[in-house]
Each structure stands twice: as structure tokens, then as C-alpha cells.
A and B are shown apart, each in its own frame.
Chain A
């Protein structure tokens, strides 16, 4: 029997770079900029970092990315990892880094991730690179795009549960509403369900506004032990639970198109935290495409299977509702620079749990679940964070 990670490690620094179209910075610069901002937020310098985690960039790749960033910064960590990439692994590295701290491998880990998909790649390059997540022999030859892969999920979900395009659209509307309250968000003009329905079809049934953004940007956090966390300037945000779930890599191999391994990652995170879905004051789910949000809300236990569409359309997930979600605007409206995308959900959650989110603050937020997935609804990681250890 090993001791649980619950409450042993806390986030003591968090920051985002400018997002959207950030043409004056390369992907490497964005990664370093995010790092410097998070260190400043934590009130420490680069030489205080003895653990570094990054993820590779598509626009400016390095064979060994974290090592290259350590060299760039001239820091010499005891723990240095490039996350395997894919949205889900963004959070997997969080609890792996926490485990490294809990076991005394290192004391202060900087997790910094950035990319410049908007300006660092041409539109065609970005599409081909992202769709290369398909199986090279058994999927990509058929010419699907990433929206196409997710449309297979959307179509099956709507067929099985009778969800409507308007319900999918309400996810995009909710996220945009929240982005309008975030001064740094990429998209800050309100939209309606009609706007989503009127946007052009990309891959049936997904319309342009059902799809997340393509962005430049990065975000970073600083992680240390709960003991040391109290000495930092801000309210520590403790890691209470974490869990992964893996169902498939390629969508053609999925055992279910409508129930994901978020069910497993969520159950594992709740078990570690000793908490239930009802204990969560807010949730950040991975909104690469609108239907994914419905499936994740259901699989994470926030509503019954097939009820996600009505749950969102009725406004429960808006700030002020019973379960505010994606309070920064999510990948749909805040930003989506590719693999680092869910880092913004993490920094936003830290801001919310510090009670520093200004007009988008979820009142009295104590505990939150943050969920990310990678591949095509493939690899899932759920993390539960709270103000109390």
C-alpha cells in the first residue's frame, strides 16, 4: 500500500501568454514567455526550478523538447520531461510531476506548454499535421480531417440519444459567453444558437462554430509540495485527485463512439480525492468540438447518459448555474494552440480557486474538476483541484 498523492502537492504559480494571433513570437518564445510569467506569479526565479515539463511544438519542433527548453533557459533540472503530447497527456504530466515531488525527486516543477499553430504553420500544414493522428494505413488514406473524425462521434451520439444540432450549438454559445468575460480570450463577440446554426458545415453535423479555434499561445504552472506551498504569495491550489483512462487511439478502433474513457479517468480521480461529482463547484471539460462536451459531462457523472444536451441548453453550465463549465471560454472561444490547449483550463481553474477571476468568478468555488482528452476521444485525464489540502 502506497500513500495517496491527495493534498501532497499544490499549484503555486499560473499564467497565460497572449493568445490568438501572436505573430511577434515563435513557439519557443511563447513557451519561455509562459514560463517566465508563471515564475513571476509564483514569486520565484528560474534557478529555483528543479523540474521541467513541456510538450513538443508542431510549429517549431525539437527532438527532445523539454531538454531544449532547459538549455534555452540555462536551467539544470533533476526532472525533465516532454509530454507525449495530445490533449490528455497535458494533465497526466501534472500528477506525474506531483508524484516526483511527493517522492523527493525534485521540489519545484515548472510545466510550460505553448505552440503557434495560427502563425507558425500554414492552414494546410496545420490540417495535415493534426489529421495525421489518424492511422497512417487504415484511416488517413480516406481523407478525413480532425473535425471529420469527431463528426463520426457526433453523428453516432445524436443518433443514439436524439441530441439536436441546437443543443450542440448551446455548448459553443455558453463557452463564448464566458470568453466575453475574459480579457485575454481570442473570441469576445457574443454568439447565438442561430449564429452557430448559420455557420458553414465543415463535416456533418459539425459546423464551423462547433469547432475549436486555431491559436498561438501558451500557459504554465508552478508545482511544489503542500508544505512549501504556504510560503508562496498566492493561495495554494491543491491536487486532490487524478486519474487516466484509455479506450483506443484510433477512432475506428473505439469500443463505443458515445461513452468515453472519461468515465474511467473520472472515477479514478474521484476515488483518490474521496469526492463525488456533486462536490464540484465548477468543471473545465475538453471542448475541441461541441459534442465532446456533452459526452464528457455525462461520463464524468454530472448528468445522465444522453442528458448532456438538455443540461447545457438549459443553462446549468453557465457562470451562475449549478455547474459552471469552461469559465475562460474553453478551446472553442478562449484559444486552442493544439497540444497545450487544456493548460488554459488549468490556469483558469487556479485563478477561480484563488477567487481572482473578477467578473467571471464562480462564487465560493472550493473544488473543481479539470478534464482533458487527446487523440479522437481516446486518452483521458481528470484532475481534481481544491483550496483545501
Chain B
């Protein structure tokens, strides 16, 4: 694959390595504060609710709802051109936090705010799989 045609790839850092490793194993890991129980995404050094540094990985159910979405008609780079039209959405996870993702597995015109979705993983390389969501019609 030429670099020109590669999709934009996340580069894990020491802070996010656990998350991407989870994705690689098919698990969606968010953080849960051991002190106050708050769930958060993306991974951070501290709990944004109570500032405790006692935050631990927690496997999310992978279920959520579409908080908002768009259908991309003009791809950001050539690497995404074959996917057009594709859905970029904000997914509110059952645990509370919101993440950006793609909604797949259904007609793009059927995606709507409030739609129930569940996680699956799109393998991009041997090390990287990105969490995307199936639209449950």
C-alpha cells in the first residue's frame, strides 16, 4: 500500500497504548475512576470529575446511541474515496462518554440521531484496529 493511499492512522502514545491494545484484541476500553466511579473517554492521567489519579481501564459494553452524524460525500483524502458516502458520527456510549466513529453495516440514509449502535473493529494494520459501530436498524 502506498502511503498516499493510506487512511489517517492513530499513533499510540504511552497514555493510549492500553486503549489501542484493547482495540487490537477486540475490546473497547474506556477509563473508570476508582475513587468516584466516573467513566471517561479519551484516556487521561486524571479523572475529569474528581481529579483523582486513580483511573483504571474498564471494558465498555460497546453499546451506544448516535448523538449526531453526517454523511461524508467528499472524502478527506483519496484513501477514503472508495468509502464515499460514509457516516461519521458521535456515539454516546451506554457508560456515558462520547466518542467519534463511523457507523457501518446499514444504509447510510437510515442513520439517525438516537439510533442504537454496537461496536466492532476495523483492522487497518497488524497493530491497529479502530473501533467503528454497526447501526442496529
Give chain A's interface residues, CB within 8 Å of chain B.
124, 127-128, 131, 134-145, 147-148, 151-156, 159, 200-206, 251-253, 257
Q: Give the B interface residue count (CB, 8 A).
A: 38
**Chain B hits for A148, CB < 8 A:** 70, 72, 76, 88
Q: Which of B3-11, B31-39, B53-61 contacts A (4 or more CB under 8 A)?
A: B3-11
**Chain B hits for A141, CB < 8 A:** 7-10, 124, 130
B1-43 Cβ-contact flags toward A at 8 Å (1 or 0): 0000001111111001000000000000000000000000110
Task: Decide: B70 and A155 in contact? CB cutoff 8 A.
Answer: yes
Q: Which residue of A lies closest to B130 (CB)?
A: A141
**Chain A hits for B69, CB < 8 A:** 152, 155
**Chain B hits for A142, CB < 8 A:** 88, 100-102, 130, 132
Q: Which residue of A lies closest to B101 (CB)?
A: A142
**Chain A hits for B89, CB < 8 A:** 152
- Most interface-central of A127, A137, A201, A206 (chain B CB within 10 A): A137
B26–chain A nearest beta-carbon distance, Å: 17
**Chain B hits for A154, CB < 8 A:** 70
- Most interface-central of B13, B77, B78, B100 (chain A CB within 10 A): B100
- 10 extra interface residue pairs, beta carbon distance < 8 Å, beyond A257-B67, A257-B68: A127-B77, A137-B42, A138-B41, A141-B7, A142-B130, A143-B7, A143-B8, A143-B72, A204-B73, A206-B70
Task: Decide: A138 and B10 in contact? CB cutoff 8 A.
Answer: yes
The yes or no answer to B46 lying at the interface (CB within 8 A) is: no
Q: Give Cα distance in the complex from A182 to B97, angstroms.
A: 46
30 CB contacts below 8 A, A to B, read A127-B77, A128-B76, A128-B77, A131-B76, A138-B100, A141-B10, A141-B124, A142-B88, A142-B101, A143-B8, A143-B72, A143-B77, A143-B79, A143-B88, A144-B88, A145-B74, A145-B75, A145-B76, A147-B74, A148-B72, A152-B69, A152-B90, A154-B70, A156-B113, A159-B113, A203-B71, A204-B73, A205-B70, A251-B90, A252-B98
Task: Decide: B80 and A143 in contact? CB cutoff 8 A.
Answer: yes
Known: A137-B11, A141-B130. A202 touches B16 (CB 8 A): no
Q: Give Cα distance in the complex from A142 to B88, angstroms.
A: 7
Q: Which residue of B lies closest to A139 (CB)?
A: B100
- Most interface-central of A131, A138, A257 (chain B CB within 10 A): A138
**Chain A hits for B8, CB < 8 A:** 136, 140-141, 143
The yes or no answer to B83 lying at the interface (CB within 8 A) is: yes
Give chain B's interface residues, CB within 8 Å of chain A.
7-13, 16, 41-42, 67-80, 83, 86, 88-90, 98-102, 113, 124, 130, 132
Q: Give Cα distance in the complex from A257 to B98, angstroms.
A: 12
Q: Give Cα distance in the complex from A205 to B130, angstroms.
A: 26
Known: A202-B73, A252-B98. A138 touches B42 (CB 8 A): yes
B57–chain A nearest beta-carbon distance, Å: 16
Q: Give Cα distance in the complex from A153 to B70, angstroms.
A: 9
Contact of B70 among A131, A135, A151 (CB under 8 A): A151
Known: A137-B10, A251-B90, A252-B98. A144 touches B77 (CB 8 A): no
Q: Give Cα distance in the complex from A203 to B68, angstroms.
A: 13
